[in-house]
Amino acid sequence: MIFGAAPCEDWGFLADYLSPGMKVYCADGGLSGALAAGLTPDLVVGDWDSGGHPLEGVPCAAMPAEKDLTDLQAAMELALADGCTELVLCGCVGGRRLDHTVFNLLLLEWLKDRGGRGLIVDGESETRLLDGESCLLSGGPRYRYLSLAPLDRVLTGVTLEGVKYPLKNAVLTRGDTLSVSNEQTAPQARVTVGSGRALLIRSQRD
């Protein structure tokens, strides 16, 4: 689990994503989020410009203020180097920096290209990358809305099952809003992208 610096009033939603032995990394100001969630960091990374700081007894990777990547991406690189390939990213959307939110979402592509898989979560939503693959959403409609946002110009073979507005072998184009605000109606929903990359976003958590 990697904490970014975006603020959150209640970290209780993380209980659904925690597992025994999970490592916790903090990107700069994400340290305050981890501590507020009652978690002890395994590593703190940052240039200390967003509220983070070295913590006694916790390994620290200090970064220069002027660098070619964000503290979050640096923390992700270190997690991959430690053998972590499944990353839960929190404190990464919202806040005062829209540019950081956009780039954090795009880091799911960067992670995929390096053999990893990521899930960005907050109190109201979760976002994952689909790359010519199928995803089974089980456990019932925990989120009200389900949206598929194309990253490539064209997606082909898009099939949505177990939802209010199903699709079968559809073609989606980037910028069109056809695939926004669907709703899961069955205990299990399946989202399939035949070719192309897209963000699968579930939002408005129960």
Q: What is the DSSP string of 41-77?
A: -SEEEE-SSSS----TTS-EEE--SS-SS-HHHHHHH
Q: What is the pTM of this model?
A: 0.93
- CB of 174 closer than 8 Å to CB of 154: yes
pLDDT of residue 49: 84
74, 63 Cβ separation under 8 angstroms: yes
Residue 143: helix, strand or coil by DSSP?
A: strand
Q: What parts of the chain have a pLDDT lower than 70?
A: 140-141
What is the pLDDT at residue 58?
87
Asked if residue 204 lies in contact with residue 145, where contact means CB atoms within 8 angstroms, the answer is: yes
